Amino acid sequence: MKTLLIVIIVSLIIFYVFRPASKKELKKFEDNDNWSNMGF
């Protein structure tokens, strides 16, 4: 049971990190007035 819970949590984290970005997120990331981008 514990192993199944760990596998589910890890798979959700992997899905969240590697999921394809939506067009709205890409537009927000490319915005020059976006403080999370910080211009680096």
Q: Which two tokens stand for residue 28?
A: 């927000």
Q: How far is Cα 16 from Cα 10, in angstroms, rounded to an integer?
A: 10
Residue 27 has what pLDDT?
73
- pLDDT the model gives residue 34: 56
| pLDDT at site 22 | 74
The pLDDT score that the predictor gives to residue 25 is 75
pLDDT in tens, 1-40: 999 999 999 999 988 888 776 777 777 776 666 565 555 5
CB atoms within 10 A of CB 28: 13
**What pLDDT, on a 0 to 100 scale, did the predictor assign at position 23?**
78
Listed residue (3, 1, 28) closest to 37, CA to CA: 28
In this predicted structure, what is the pLDDT of residue 24?
77
